[in-house]
Amino acid sequence: MRLTLLKIIEVDGVDKISSNISVIIRTKNEERWIGHCIQSLLDNYNQPELIIIDDNSKDETINIVKSFEKDTNLDGKDPRYTKIIFEDIKNYSPGLSLNKGVSIATKDIILIISAHCVLFEINLERTNQYLDKYAAVYGNQIPVYNGKRINKRYVWSNFSSNSAENFYCDQEQRYFLHNAFAFYKKETLQKFPFDNKLTTKEDRYWANDIINNKKLNIFYDSEQSVYHHYTINGATWKGLA
């Protein structure tokens, strides 16, 4: 099925993408950045469906998210608010949480974004065209530490300025995909869910199965990007530079 190309609409004098998109955000004590993440989504998309899969947050994460929630008793046209679905998860794993989000989503396109990522450059119309050809499209990530852009080392070196089909990561000796900023068709993830048992890198295992066994392809679009902010427990922040 070919998706209809999206229109740019004006909301309160600002051009936004009229989008058929569900956004899945996994959260655990993300009070520092979750508001920035959601605001960047609302700044670019016209009231996307947000799905928050929370892993027992103890800080203000959920209260901050609720400040963006649309009041169903009002007309619903205020661009500062949107539909938000909350789901707590037990026995958390990255794949289990994403599969749960997909099962809840009501839109045709899924964006998976990290709670500490902020949109910088997007082109959903081009992404929809790519998703007619590719099983997944993931974008560039700009690492940021305390507001400062830092050098791309370790995993970040895989986010180059050159777009690529089925990018192979020499560091990991496998195909690369990163779910901090990645787009899928819902029907693709329903047919090929993530592995519920993996405790990390569910994205890479999925990509390698998709390419090697399912004989499908994925695409790295370097022209779409997010700022990926430092988190104290971030597994990919070794060797700040």
- The letter for the amino acid at 9 is I
Each residue's pLDDT tens digit, 159-173:
999 999 999 999 899
Residue 153: DSSP 8-state: -
The number of distinct structural domains making up the chain is 1
> Does residue 207 lie within any of the structural domains?
yes
Q: Residues 56-60: what's their mean pLDDT?
A: 95
Number of Cβ atoms within 10 Å of the Cβ of 201: 18
Q: Which helix (H) or strand (E) holds 211?
A: helix 202-212
* Per-residue pLDDT band at 21 (split at 50, 70, 90): very high
> Does residue 236 lie within any of the structural domains?
no
> Does residue 94 lie within any of the structural domains?
yes
Each residue's pLDDT tens digit, 205-220:
999 999 999 999 999 9
pTM of the entire predicted model: 0.90
Question: b/e per residue, 72-105, with b = 16+ CB within 10 A?
Answer: eeeeeeeeebbbbbeeebeeebbbbbbbbbbeeb
> Does residue 235 lie within any of the structural domains?
no
Nearest-10 Cα torsion for 30, 36, 38, 44? -160
> Does residue 2 lie within any of the structural domains?
no
Alpha-carbon distance values, 121 to 66, 80, 132, 133, 225 (Å): 25, 20, 21, 21, 5
**Are residues 194 and 87 in contact, defined by beta-carbon separation less than 8 angstroms?**
no
Residue 217, domain extent: 8-229
Closest CA to 158 of 144, 179, 130, 178: 178
Give just the sign of the alpha carbon dihedral 34, 40, 43, 44: negative
> Does residue 195 lie within any of the structural domains?
yes
Q: Which two tokens stand for residue 130?
A: 């790519």
Cα 141 from Cα 134, distance rounded (Å)? 20
Q: Check residue 161 and give its pLDDT.
A: 95
Number of Cβ atoms within 10 Å of the Cβ of 131: 22
> Does residue 238 lie within any of the structural domains?
no
Residue 79 belongs to domain with CATH number:
3.90.550.10
> Does residue 3 lie within any of the structural domains?
no
Each residue's pLDDT tens digit, 79-121:
888 999 999 998 899 999 999 999 999 999 999 999 999 999 9
Question: b/e per residue, 147-170, with b = 16+ CB within 10 A?
Answer: eeebebeebbebbeeebeebbebe
Each residue's pLDDT tens digit, 122-153:
988 899 999 999 999 999 999 998 888 888 88
